[in-house]
């Protein structure tokens, strides 16, 4: 992942049309790239701050003492200018390598309840989605992170786009 940072050209607004042009007179194009990844993990939805009855009432079958697993699909969407030379927002190999080492290796085939990320919070898919977003936000610098979407089942998915979204 030792690619040079993209060259940033000065951008000048066109007063009549309001579009941005670079110093060469070309439109600046922001594009989005979404990439999907699969991993499996287990969890138990249980809060120590609630009674057993409250946990069962809140989480239902997901409060099973033995936990349960999911085959998750995580979709990461990044954006940026389309590079003139490569024609890409970012190199897919960089994104794939980052997600593999920082997300899939961390959460794949794990009991989420045993991980430090969930020592103080319930490992709901909403919280897992936020954790993944924050990992990518902190560590992937080849494009701007737009959002993370996490599918837990065919019927349930969660999306997080940061605190300011």
Structural domains of the chain in order of their starting residue, each with its CATH number: 29-160 (3.30.479.10)
C-alpha 138/C-alpha 115 separation (Å) is 19
CA distance 160 to 165: 8
Q: In this predicted structure, what is the pLDDT of residue 18?
A: 52
Q: Which residues of the chain have pLDDT under 50?
A: 5, 7-9, 12, 25
Rounded Cα distance, 67 and 43, in Å: 5
Note the helical H segments in 12-117. 52-59, 92-99, 105-107
pTM, to two decimals: 0.83
* Helix pair angle (125-139, 92-99), 10° resolution: 130
Catalogue the active-site residues.
Answer: 62, 109, 152
Q: What is the pLDDT of residue 9?
A: 47
């Amino acid at each position: 992942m030792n690619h040079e940072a993209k060259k940033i050209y000065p951008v000048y607004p066109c007063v009549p049309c309001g579009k941005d042009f670079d110093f060469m007179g070309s439109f600046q194009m922001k594009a989005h790239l979404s990439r999907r990844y699969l991993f499996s993990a287990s969890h138990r939805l249980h809060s120590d701050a609630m009674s057993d009855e409250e946990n069962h009432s809140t989480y239902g079958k997901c409060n099973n003492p033995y936990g349960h697993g999911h085959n998750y699909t995580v979709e990461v969407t990044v954006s940026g200018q389309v590079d003139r030379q490569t024609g890409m927002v970012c190199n897919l190999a960089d994104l794939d390598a980052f997600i593999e080492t920082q997300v899939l290796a961390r959460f794949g085939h794990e009991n989420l309840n045993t991980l430090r990320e969930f020592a103080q919070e319930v490992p709901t898919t909403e919280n897992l989605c936020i954790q993944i977003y924050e990992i990518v936000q902190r560590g992937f610098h080849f494009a701007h992170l737009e959002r993370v979407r996490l599918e837990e089942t065919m019927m349930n998915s969660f999306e997080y786009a940061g605190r300011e979204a």
